Amino acid sequence: MKAPLARLAYAIAVLLVAGYAVITLRGPRGITAWLDKQQQIHALERRNAGLAQEIERKREHIQRLSGNPAEQELEIRERLKLVHPKDKVFIIEPQGR
């Protein structure tokens, strides 16, 4: 008589655990949330890789500038629009106006 009751108790316990697992995995913190987090992680890893490449390009640019005064001067002239005091600057207006 104890054996069938024990089996029934185990079966009920297994069903309850299985039901709880199904409800938990389908809920807001379940498999869908996990998949969303995985997608976010992959997107952020791709973004980090892109940013790392950009940082490396900028480091190489800084290395080139620190070792080459002529390139430094060219960068200053282009980016900051600075000129030497004796240089002449010509500003040409577009003809389409």
Q: pLDDT digit string (tens) for 33-71?
A: 888 999 999 999 999 999 999 999 999 999 988 989 888
Q: Give the pLDDT confidence score for residue 21 in this predicted structure.
A: 82
> What are phi and psi for residue 2, nearest 5 degrees?
-75, -35
Q: Which two tokens stand for residue 63?
A: 């290395």
% of the chain exceeding 70 in pLDDT: 97
CB contact at 8 A, 64 and 71: yes
Q: What is the pTM of this model?
A: 0.56
Using 50, 70 and 90 to split pLDDT, how confident is the model at 83?
confident
Give the residue extent of every domain in the chain. Answer: 37-80
How far is the C-alpha of 71 from the C-alpha of 77, rounded, in Å? 10
Amino acid at residue number 47: R
The Cα 29–Cα 36 span in angstroms is 10
C-beta atoms surrounding 75 within 10 Å:
14
* Residue-level pLDDT at 48: 98
Whole-number Å distance between alpha carbons of 42 and 71: 39
Q: What is the mean pLDDT of the chain?
A: 87
C-beta separation of 28 from 35 below 8 A: no
What tokens does 44 get?
């952020």
Q: Which of 16-20, 25-29, 49-53 has the highest mean pLDDT?
A: 49-53
